[in-house]
Amino acid sequence: MIPAPCGQSLDHAVVTTAQRMVSDNQEALMSIANSNADGGAHSPRGQTTLDEWQRIFLQRDWDALPDLLADDVTFHTPVDAVPLHGKDAFVASLKQSFSIFETFAYARDFAGDDGHVLEFRGSVGGATFTGIDIIRLDEAGNVTDLVVMIRPASALMKRGGEAAS
């Protein structure tokens, strides 16, 4: 084994880093799940927001997206370790992603007391992917938090390669 910092083996350092990344993602999800608000998913306003959300993404109507977002919206992207904050960063990141997606469609949705989950499928660079949007809404029906997860990782790597070109 190759020595790693602090006298740890390289294998141990890799496992520790991976565990830390999983823990950070779990903490972000738990903070969403443990909120006292119901996430607005069951309210008529919440359903209106989610219907409009899907329309915007399917039609790539990015000018309409800020109207659905809380001013202090947080976006946990599948590629950035640190969440993005604010409407401008949120919209810019999604526009960039969608500019390289070859296909994109919503497949299923799930509602709960703490928010809403939309499952989607798409392709980039010939690789297909499946993912979920975990959406939290405030009482007014505005999106306050989005966590996006995509698999397989190879599709994310293609996205990164396409975005860099």
66, 37, 35: which is closest to 49 by C-alpha?
Answer: 66
Residue 124: φ, ψ to 5°: -150, 130
147 CB burial (10 A radius; 0-12, 13-18, 19+): buried
SS3 116: strand
CA distance linking residue 103 with residue 89, whole number of Å: 23
Q: Between the CA of residue 106 and those of 70, 130, 135, what are the distances in Å?
A: 23, 10, 14
Q: Residue 33's pLDDT is what? A: 43
pLDDT of residue 103: 94
Q: What are the backbone angles phi and psi of residue 74, rounded to the nearest 5°?
A: -120, 135
Question: How high is the pLDDT of residue 72?
Answer: 97
- pLDDT on residue 138: 93
Q: What is the pTM of this model?
A: 0.70
CA 135 to mean position of chain CA atoms: 8
- Specify the pLDDT at position 67: 96
Residue 23's pLDDT is what?
53
d(CA 153, CA 156): 5
Per-residue pLDDT of the chain in tens (165 residues, 90 and over written 9)? 444 445 544 455 444 544 555 555 555 444 444 443 444 555 777 888 999 999 999 999 999 999 999 999 999 999 889 999 999 999 999 999 899 999 999 999 998 877 899 999 999 988 999 999 999 999 899 999 999 999 998 877 765 554 444
Q: Domains in the chain, ordered, with CATH? A: 1-34 (no CATH), 38-164 (3.10.450.50)
Q: What's the gap between Cα 7 and its chain centre?
A: 36
DSSP state of 6: G
